[in-house]
A and B are shown apart, each in its own frame.
Chain A
Amino acid sequence: DSGVTQTPKHLITATGQRVTLRCSPRSGDLSVYWYQQSLDQGLQFLIQYYNGEERAKGNILERFSAQQFPDLHSELNLSSLELGDSALYFCASSDGTATFPTGELFFGEGSRLTVL
């Protein structure tokens, strides 16, 4: 158990819909990262938040947005869903203060999104 909690574990929805994925980081961790894992693209970095502020951005689509709340949990919002958005979405956390570059990311179990 990594200590990172993601909900829901599975989600099935239709094209054009909007979903929200939730992540609770490990206790005390200030940084939250979102990754997308698909068969053809592998594991891709989407976005990072540190203590409520956006810190780094990857290949995140404009239809996707995220935020980190004062209690440090984070939500990833996916809108106007397309078939190609079907994937595993992982949240990871770190304390954000670990000395680079040996910091460790702790991954949740992921949310599997299926768009029909």
Chain B
Amino acid sequence: DIQMTQSPSSLSASVGDRVTITCRASQSISSYLNWYQQKPGKAPKLLIYAASSLQSGVPSRFSGSGSGTDFTLTISSLQPEDFATYYCQQSYSARAAFGQGTKLEIK
């Protein structure tokens, strides 16, 4: 099975900062990579699909890149509503796998 590894597991940043989260797959998954945002008590929300495509309604400060085994999620200028936990997930296989999550906290 494909394993997904995210880093860092937590991150402290300030409003206006640029932040990057990385995700590595245990084997090549081409561009079959989703990024989710989850806030406390809520279901996850899809931000980015196919590694770099922005889901409808998601602000353009979110962007994704990468292919093969290495991927990144970048938030260009953090806003207060962006403090949440972020997960990558491979959609290459029907046996879906999530990264362990990155908790983004206010510095």
Are A and B a genuine interacting pair, yes or no?
A: no
Task: List residues of B whose CB falls within 8 A of some A CB.
Answer: none
Task: List residues of A whose CB falls within 8 A of some B CB.
Answer: none
